[in-house]
Structure 1
């Protein structure tokens, strides 16, 4: 009990930026945080570029000793073989990727990834020592039909089938009804669901895992609302989409602790 969880601000670039643009963005973001006297150990920052950018960004982070984590946006359920277009966890680990987004709402919707596929991908991530950033959330229809938290709780229960008490995971709650709408969930709504997700971790993996696991909020996160979310006890960071592509905005989100009242 009483474990201090270092906040995590994660930037999901989705299908944006070629490798040259990616390098430029990371350089500018790093300099913006240095200029703002940001304390790198107060907030963890991880960027999730497209696959074609990973090597360039990894080389830059290593060469310039930039203290950002590197993650991938997806991985295959297979290690290798005749799976054209797929990227395995083994490949990602060789690139020093520390984490991988799994089960993002766009993968669930556009690629028909169900809970079984998400669970298989979580197993692959853990097999290759990648931290799975497990995305769960509900649509507006889910919310109306089942109520708050029912769908994300069920999604997380399935996703954790291969995890153990010692597994390092991150959970990201993304209310699908809020993504890209400009209308975020209220901090109170997000806290209610994030608390129930932590309860799932406690039930499945134990008290220690529940206390140390970071639960993020994702859904129209902005510099103007991040501080309010971060005041909630069960919200440990944010999964940021469009805002992570704008240096000034993402820098301000990362520096949420400088905001008035935090």
Structure 2
């Protein structure tokens, strides 16, 4: 694949289960370094779309390509080594220390213990956790926000080019959530990772996204920059914008109010 090609591509993708269409007519690309937020109500198809990228599911029709290669042509383990995955409940192993949790994938890949220890400590620093204080602790000894930071560090451990994040901050209190959004935005810009981030929170989408993909009934109905999205006339986009207290089409929308800058 050429360096100017998309990192992820959906072409005529459908996903049907038991005769019921969960996804239809998905056609879009994700460029390297992009922060794509998939926004939508519960059941709109956001997480299903994300799971097609790391082949947790395969399309009923159409093709999903990662690095120019159809997901069905990848060996699944090799594909998933290109992709970090962070979920709301971080899935940390309770009987592993934080250091062992973060170092799990490099350990499975056969890296040397000293290299792994160095990498783990580097990553803990990166996500704002002092290794001297946190490396030997266990997940139950951490707050929810700290566990999410560990989840991000673990997803970054194998240095994947792509990160999938499924409502990772959804269970946190509003202040911790805001802090982690800001911290992760800084981290993504610093590392240049390509991120696909699922949320139903309009404000979170505006804070994080370089583009917002709005899902409705299994279809991608809008795909815009935050600035363009703020001016969308699509009824579902209007509904989400109203959750920010923004009036509908024809209103003056101040970017500062939306937190999307100039």
Higher relative CO (Cα under 8 Å, sequence separation at least 6) belongs to 2
More strand by share: 2
Indicate the TM-score class for this superposition, using the shorter chain for normalisation: 0.3 to 0.5
What is the TM-score normalised by the length of structure 1? 0.40
What is the TM-score normalised by the length of structure 2? 0.40
More helix by share: 1
